Amino acid sequence: MGLITDVAFAPATGPLKGLLWLAKVIADQAERTLYDENVIRAGLADLEQRLETGEISEADYEAEEEILLGRLKIARERMRSGQ
């Protein structure tokens, strides 16, 4: 009976399932980018350059650096655990 129900309700549930699939794909890609070591390293380099040019204060630098280093730590833990 599951197949018949799936077919009968496909016009109503199909778009919803497609939307949920798309949301998952976007979330997965965003998470991969968030924890990409190369992206994080580039962020750290950019942050240092902004500090050297006086664009940001030492306090702002330290706050942003802490966030990036936290993401880097998570990225490395995820790599070790195989995620």
**Residue-wise DSSP of the chain:** -HHHHHHHHHHHHHHHHHHHHHHHHHHHHHHHHHT-HHHHHHHHHHHHHHHHTTSS-HHHHHHHHHHHHHHHHHHHHHHHHT-
Mind listing the pLDDT tens digit for each residue in 22-59? 999 999 999 989 999 999 999 999 999 999 999 999 99
The pTM of this model reads 0.69
**Could you tell me the residue ranges of all domains in the chain?**
24-81
